A = this chain, B = another copy of it.
């Protein structure tokens, strides 16, 4: 079965973005396994807040993928190759996973991450820990309701810049 993979960068203290959603602390001077991962997926899923941040990039970064953005409010088409999903995040994602295809990239953010980990729908996490402490910001998972989840470390990779990439399987 295809897997749902949370591929995401964090600070040493577990933030995926700064207080105002800023990600200027992320290293961008290397590939850090991105291309290989990107080639392994054919679909992305993300929450609207995350999409709203990505929208501000000069170019939409996943033009050749099928992109689903979850939202509770009606959103007008904006020219990007995305589909807004109003239906239940968990049910939609479970159905999506049951279809044939390559892996699905869970882009984030913390709210969707929490809903999907709670539903047992994160099969793998690839966390790239940047050697930065932020102190505050947007966390990997939203605070409410998360049960403690055990993972199995299946791979680790250390990049020259001090970036550590850990791959965990759901158990």
A residues in contact (CB < 8 Å) with B? 10-15, 18, 25, 114, 117, 125, 127, 129, 131-136, 139-153, 156, 158, 162-164, 166, 168
Copies of chain A in the complex = 2
Report Cα–Cα, A143/B140, bound state, in Å.
15
Q: Which residues of B contact A152 (CB under 8 A)?
A: 131, 162
**B14–A15 touching, CB < 8 Å:** yes
Given contacts A25-B148, A135-B142, contact A158 B153 (CB under 8 A): yes
Q: Which 9 A-B pairs have the closest CB atoms?
A: A14-B14, A135-B146, A153-B162, A13-B140, A133-B149, A131-B151, A136-B143, A13-B14, A135-B141
**Chain B: minimal CB distance from A117 (Å):** 7
**B136–A150 touching, CB < 8 Å:** no
